[in-house]
A and B are shown apart, each in its own frame.
Chain A
């Protein structure tokens, strides 16, 4: 976090910052942080993480929790800069290149004998999606967290593949209009087979949201056509429209305490919150509020919840230090918050923003709900999907509201309205959508949706 400002990155100055002039292409911004979020959709076996790795240079992480030689890879975020060589002699697509997020803004072109300089055109963040779970929950409630998506199809299998239609549906749900289809593992098939599959894909996407998507044959393994992906990211993905001028709001998806145990009081660093900025600009020095905040138990047994007020001390995107942060990628916010409050992801799901500008804090809700007939997703025992029981008084449910998950008790039900007592306060507003889940066969299963009609506001 305390990495010194790298001299090869553009200097940011809060004093001269004019948010009205910012765009997702402002050089001072994209020198240091990603401004476009690209979802990667595809089956792990189709090489999803290999593709991200080939573009971003970020090493993926291996997981083996089983005594089996089966390594699955999970991604979180990976940022990449995309460049184009200035030398007109350098032809497309070879003039496009990607590099790690901390690479300088005008590196030398690597083509032997070129001698040109590369110009930074985009800074993108790859989000493993669906799959980045807190974001996924947010998406359910309608937030657009993804600007575009790479859809992976294995080139050595015929199309449609079992997951592909599901992936296309996922893209439709996320309302992603900008899609690039990657026909991966092209090195494993003959040209004729690749051509044939290309035809199958075209036919398959007809009439779907992906209809006009470009299809690029690649081999992530052999790094073949990675430059074409870069070119398409630059040319085909429109610059997202961002709200830089509203009061900033960020959803917290991780929080931690980075202090060495036993640090002296004057050495202690405040807590860190990592998250996704939905709108506005966060600056170093900003006074901020985190809602709902800290929960404590008073001596009389009553539970108290107090929003946290603090100041931004540092900002960073991956390893790059920032003076101000805009929507895009995952932003780390160093604060003056008591670090013990941030330990172990304790602030996950909370909302960070300008003081006094965040939505209300509700501790009870009246919702208009609608229940599924049967459980979705995987089938439980037997062929029939289990029926969803009606809501009844005192039911304990899981409720997802925005980026928050918490428990609730059903206090009363009338027709399609229910009154819910929340286990933890949530920062929300009337009209917001919620998801309801119940414990069925020892798993939390989605049983329905709702919309907040009214909330009881916390007082202090």
Chain B
């Protein structure tokens, strides 16, 4: 953990769902908290990712479709046969595909050695099957039913928003355990939660961890009406539109009404009730200006400041990074828009089409390798390889 992470871990702990839900139950969406046993955390932590046939969505197709017929395969000999063996695995034309391993003898040796080095490694390599935590799955199924059949999942802090591509509805809507497991195992946001507590590897499978699975009643919320509020020393200091990738024209006219509703909600339901004096909370404003609490988040580098910059809200926490030279962009941005700490409540929305920001959650729709190559920070041979691939395509 980085130094500021340790510094603010207490704040973070207070924002865990199970820490605040009971107290704020009447102003937030119905939810069920399920404590998670170690085996499930191990399952989430493992790279091993298989999904059984059951639960995976089945679509209506022609009865005569024979794609999955085991005896029905295309012939493939005529393509991409000249791929650079430096980059690509060969495959054996025999039924037993074993030639690949023998080519890489040196690697096998190395991996063996690594295994000997750490017993822990071996444990992590244990393959955990969904059938090994049936009891938990049953608990989840019952909870989904109780919440009306459609839920969205989260852990102590985060929801797997970045993994919505791994969901049949392209959202966080889940109707069964497979939906939930697919999202949780695919999400970097969930990973971020999973590094907050370390779990003793010697514990038994059934032992309960500090982690919880939260199932919340699914709501088809309008992103335009979600807001993040920043509270500093028990003073509501900032309100920001939460979906910063869209310009909602109507917000301008509604701004005052929304602000009044949020202030009233803050004073009546949140103020001095949360276990810290400085925090952020997300809320949803309904069409008749009723406000619902969505979540609490800590004043923490991992919390997005959205239309604010942290300098304005909590200037005393900003650390000047000594190693990093200010680049031209930073310098220019600062000259053009000097950062003034806020003293009274400010409500920010996106004012026009030019103000929209890219939706960062969408970046997780691509493998890491490609994301990194695009920023110019990737290293290694990806470009060679893409070129090689491109050239292959041309030949075909």
Contact = CB atoms under 8 A, between A and B. Distances in A.
A140 to B, nearest CB: 7
B369 A348 contact: no
Contacts of A47: 328-329
B328 A363 contact: no
Given A416-B91, A443-B188, A424 B170 contact: yes
Contact of A73 (B249, B329, B390): B329
B26 interface: no
Contacts of A259: 222, 224, 250
B166 A398 contact: yes
B309 to A, nearest CB: 4
Contact of B76 (A170, A364, A417, A423): A417
A-side binding surface: helix, strand, loop or mixed? mixed
Contact of B378 (A377, A423, A440): A377
Interface in B279-318: 285-288, 301-302, 304-305, 309-311, 314, 317-318
Given A47-B329, A50-B329, A258-B224, A460 B60 contact: yes
Interface of B: 4, 45, 47, 49-53, 56-62, 65, 67-68, 70, 73-74, 76, 79-80, 83, 86-89, 91-93, 97, 100, 104, 107, 110, 114, 165-171, 175, 182, 185-186, 188, 191, 220, 222-225, 243, 245-246, 248-250, 254, 285-288, 301-302, 304-305, 309-311, 314, 317-321, 324, 326-330, 332-334, 337, 352-359, 362-387, 389-390, 393
A257 B374 CA distance: 30
Contacts of B328: 45, 47, 50, 185, 221
Nearest to A64: B309
B287 A262 contact: yes
Contacts of A305: 59
B371 A318 contact: no
Contacts of B248: 258
**Which of B330, B337, B352: most chain A Cβ within 10 A?**
B330
Contacts of A394: 50-52
A137 B380 contact: no
Given A65-B305, A378-B368, A437-B367, A396 B329 contact: no
24 contacts: A134-B362, A140-B370, A172-B387, A173-B386, A260-B250, A261-B222, A295-B169, A319-B354, A343-B220, A346-B170, A348-B362, A363-B59, A364-B67, A364-B68, A368-B80, A373-B89, A384-B107, A387-B104, A395-B50, A400-B365, A435-B367, A442-B191, A449-B389, A456-B61
Nearest to A161: B376
A42 to B, nearest CB: 8
Contact of A377 (B175, B329, B382): B382
Given A130-B373, A412-B70, A457 B61 contact: yes
A425 B59 contact: yes
A459 B97 contact: no
A302 B58 contact: yes
Interface in A143-193: 163, 166-167, 169-170, 172-173, 175, 185
A373 B329 CA distance: 39
Contacts of B224: 257-259, 261
A45 to B, nearest CB: 4
B74 A454 contact: yes
A377 B372 contact: yes
Contacts of A114: none
A159 to B, nearest CB: 15
A377 B380 contact: yes
A406 B166 contact: yes
Contacts of B168: 295, 303, 423-424
* Top 8 A-B pairs, shortest CB-CB distance: A262-B287, A169-B383, A377-B369, A130-B374, A261-B287, A405-B365, A437-B367, A163-B376
B61 A173 contact: no
B106 to A, nearest CB: 9
B61 A363 contact: yes
Contacts of A364: 61, 67-68
B-side binding surface: helix, strand, loop or mixed? loop
B137 to A, nearest CB: 17
A237 to B, nearest CB: 22
Interface stretch (A9-17, A55-63, A88-96): A55-63
A165 B4 CA distance: 36
A71 interface: yes
Contact of B387 (A43, A169, A347, A421): A169
Contacts of A439: 47, 49, 185-186
Interface residues of A, number: 134
Contacts of B76: 368, 415-417, 453
Contact of B326 (A69, A345, A433): A69
B232 to A, nearest CB: 14
Given A61-B357, A166-B383, 14 more contacts: A67-B319, A134-B365, A140-B386, A262-B287, A304-B59, A345-B170, A376-B382, A377-B378, A378-B369, A378-B379, A423-B166, A439-B186, A444-B186, A457-B62
Given A259-B222, A260-B250, A421-B56, A388 B89 contact: yes
A49 B329 contact: yes
A242 interface: no
A370 B88 contact: yes
Interface string A273-309: 0000000000000000000000101000011110000
Interface in A369-414: 370-373, 375-379, 382, 384-385, 387-388, 390, 394-396, 398, 400, 405-407, 409, 411-412, 414
A336 interface: no
A48 B248 CA distance: 28
Contacts of B305: 64-65
Given A295-B168, A456-B65, A456-B67, A69 B318 contact: yes
A453 B74 contact: yes
Given A133-B365, A256-B246, A407-B166, A67 B385 contact: no
Given A377-B378, A417-B76, A258 B368 contact: no
Contacts of A163: 376-377
Given A69-B321, A384-B110, A419 B374 contact: no
A382 B107 CA distance: 13
A156 to B, nearest CB: 10
Nearest to A156: B328
B191 A67 contact: no
Contacts of A442: 45, 47, 188, 191
B120 to A, nearest CB: 13
A235 interface: no
Contacts of A63: 357
Contact of A379 (B50, B286, B374, B379): B379
A142 interface: yes
Contact of B379 (A261, A303, A377): A377
Contacts of B370: 136-137, 140, 377, 446
B89 A396 contact: no
A423 B73 contact: no
A454 to B, nearest CB: 6
A460 to B, nearest CB: 6
B149 to A, nearest CB: 9
Contacts of B79: 368, 451
Contact of B367 (A50, A68, A445): A445
Given A303-B59, A451-B79, A170 B329 contact: no
Contact of B67 (A257, A318, A454): A454
Contacts of A169: 383-384, 386-387
Contacts of B191: 442
Contacts of B166: 398, 406-407, 423
A346 B171 contact: yes
